[in-house]
Chain A
Amino acid sequence: MLSFSEIANSIHEWLSSHLNNTWTLVVEMVIAGVLVISLFALLGLILVIMERKVSAWMQIRLGPNRVGPKGLLQSFADTLKLLVKEGMTPGGADKFLFNFAPFLAMIVAMLLMAPIAFAKDFQLWNINIGVLYVTAVSSISVISILMAGWASNNKYSLLGAMRSGAQIVSYELSAGLSILSVVVLTGSLSLSDIIASQQNGWWIFKGHIPVLISFVIFLIAVTAETNRAPFDLAEAESELTAGFHTEYSGMKFALFFLAEYINVFIVCAIGATLFLGGWMPFHIGNWQGFNNVMDYIPSSIWFFGKTFFLIFVIMWFRWTFPRLRIDQLLNLEWKYLLPISMFNLLLVTAMAILGWHF
């Protein structure tokens, strides 16, 4: 069966038979870069139309239905509009920081793509500290937001950026602690090891209620980290017009917009990898026939299916709940999520030591 890993291997063999080692590496890096960028573009187009359709149906509306069949080409039209728009830089802005911030946001999103396993044996960079890498690099995104808010020379942008900073810094704690519970159970920081440990069942099933709680906390925390409603205080259309990207237009705005959706995809991919078994198919105990049928579905479809399911759940959050106030937001983190996830981590550790999981 044709799989991503076989294609990658055959390209690698073909290249190494024609070029020396250095050039093989260079060409492979270029190919990986192009693939990541095209994945970004594709994800941006798909996620925007998905969000608009999901939001419409949840609010008893029809959603975009004019461009293309059932409105599916709407995001192409929007992208085209953004491409031809002028990218304004306000007069009082810090030119360098203002123009650099959207690219920093994209660079962070790109870096986060590296350790994700998209299919069986198909990973850009299999490092042994994948989880640590993801949590560390994702915190850089707050710098791009602060940079954009500061450089815009606009009170709304600055307020939005400050809120976003407070929010991301505090919610990273509970996101990290809920990730740690899976790390404790697996005993490894490598994402491929974590996936391999879910061969006989996903952690959300194997880990009983404590892992379920950390999964829920993870979902809430990453929703806050990606600045999406109900935690979108950084943007808060009704108060701050658009928060940190108020002054951005054209392609620079599009990069921020794209980075938001890519970040959603990445955190959902991480969530799928940690709790839902990454590319591992769904198996039930000893039902050999059922398991064989599940194995027949390609691993990439499993991975993207789980990721898009989590993206749908996050969209579901967004279009159900009203926005929190800043004090409610910080209360939720420091008084509820953090103590609960700390206690939960203790439970998971006890479970891992005593071997109470399957």
Chain B
Amino acid sequence: MSNDKNIKSAGSSPPSGGLGGYIKEVFTAVKSMLVGMRRTGYYFTHHKEIITQQYPDNRETLNLPERFKGEVVMPHDEKNEHRCTGCQACELACPNGTIKVIFKNEVTPEGKKKKAIDKLVYHLELCTLCNLCVVACPSDAIVMAQTFEHSVFDRSKLTKVLNNPGSKIMEGVE
């Protein structure tokens, strides 16, 4: 007397399929119990699996996961150049107005007027670290940094300007 639908039925539903189904259900239950206990038993005996970071103690050797999101930063290269074109995609993508792009007009060597970012203002105090701005950026100008010790004594210190002073856009980004 075999029927496969018994295996899927939840423990609370009455066993269908007569005695055979009943016995099958009991065996399935015991088997799944043993599977669960095997997993916890493995973790109990294998202490190398422990993922706890004893944070203030191991501050120097702290090993954060790659995808950890601490704050938004704008990487600059050694010539103090960034990749931000000022397209405002991040500003539009932000759900709570964390990023403000402030523009200035630049004159290129050919004498043409060109729009460029003056300041990319980032309000860490408003940021939920949702990563939407980084996803929206078409030129990979902003990334998430792994710094997370953001405590300051004054709220105004949380408002940051992401581009370095005197920086300009990298060649060939546009």
Contacts and interface: CB of A to CB of B under 8 A. Distances in A.
Interface of A: 54, 57-62, 316-317, 319-321, 325, 327-328, 331-332, 335-336, 340
Contacts of A328: 11-12
Nearest to A54: B44
A35 to B, nearest CB: 33
Interface residues of B, number: 20
A246 B37 CA distance: 31
B20 interface: no
Contact of B11 (A61, A319, A332): A332
Nearest to B23: A340
Interface string B30-54: 0001001101110110010111101
Interface string B15-38: 100000000001001000100110
B40 to A, nearest CB: 4
Contact of A61 (B26, B33, B50): B50
B50 A327 contact: no
B36 A320 contact: yes
Contacts of A335: 14-15
Rank and list the top 3 A-B pairs by shortest CB-CB distance, nearest first. A58-B40, A62-B52, A320-B40
User: B-side binding surface: helix, strand, loop or mixed?
Assistant: helix
A340 B44 CA distance: 31
A245 to B, nearest CB: 27
Nearest to B36: A320
A327 B15 CA distance: 15
B37 A340 contact: no
Contacts of B14: 335
Contacts of A62: 50, 52, 54
Contact of A60 (B15, B41, B50, B54): B50
B28 to A, nearest CB: 12
B33 A321 contact: yes
A61 B52 CA distance: 6
B16 to A, nearest CB: 13
Contact of A316 (B15, B40, B47): B40
B11 A331 contact: yes
A62 B49 CA distance: 10
Contacts of A316: 37, 40-41, 44
Contacts of A61: 50-52
B12 A331 contact: yes
